[in-house]
């Protein structure tokens, strides 16, 4: 026999699973955010993080988002190919690469923030 506490745990588990599934499904769909390129959920949030941390470098962005530098490198390559970000050498440390939004990246960010 199932008691009420166990039944509540099962309902909470299903609700959590539903939210996770919707998030994963949403990440598969791209939006354009006023640009000519499709931008995925993870990409637009990386643009937001770059905008909010002007002049951030790859390792700093990885630390800020709580992900690996490899993940950041993978996404930044895609964003650079789409013309949404640019990479520049840090004037204070030539070994570090600074990430900045391009004008197209600025449009995407602005449109994302107003949606």
Question: Residue 97 corresponds to which tokens in the numbers above?
Answer: 């690469």
Q: What are phi and psi of 64, to 5 degrees?
A: -60, -40
State whether CATH 3.40.50.300 applies to domain 31-114: no
5 is written with which tokens? 């506490």
Averaged pLDDT for residues 75-92: 94
Whether the model clears a pTM of 0.85, i.e. scores above it, the answer is no
Residues 95-103 have a mean pLDDT of 94
Which range, of 11-15, 50-54, 79-83, averages the lowest pLDDT? 11-15
| 39 burial type by CB count under 10 A (0-12 exposed, 13-18 middle, 19+ buried) | buried
20-68 pLDDT, tens digit per residue, is: 878 777 667 889 999 999 999 889 999 999 999 988 999 999 999 999 9
Encoding tokens for residue 65? 């988002």
Please tell me the predicted confidence (pLDDT) of residue 8: 83
pLDDT in the model for residue 17: 84
pLDDT at position 98: 94
Res 12 pLDDT > 80? yes
User: Which of 54-60's residues contact partners 24+ apart within 8 Å by CB, and which partners?
Assistant: 54/100, 55/90, 55/98, 55/100, 56/98, 56/99, 57/90, 57/96, 57/97, 57/98, 57/99, 58/96, 58/97, 58/99, 59/96
């Amino acid at each position: 026999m199932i008691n009420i506490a166990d039944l509540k745990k099962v309902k909470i588990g299903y609700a959590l699973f539903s939210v996770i599934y919707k998030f994963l499904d949403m990440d598969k769909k791209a939006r354009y955010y006023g640009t000519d390129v499709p931008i995925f959920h993870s990409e637009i949030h990386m643009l937001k993080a770059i905008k909010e941390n002007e002049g951030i470098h790859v390792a700093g962005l990885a630390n800020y988002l709580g992900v690996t530098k490899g993940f950041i490198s993978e996404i930044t390559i895609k964003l650079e190919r789409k013309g949404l970000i640019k990479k520049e050498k840090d004037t204070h440390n030539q070994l570090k690469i600074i990430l900045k939004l391009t004008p197209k990246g600025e449009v995407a960010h602005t449109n994302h923030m107003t949606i």
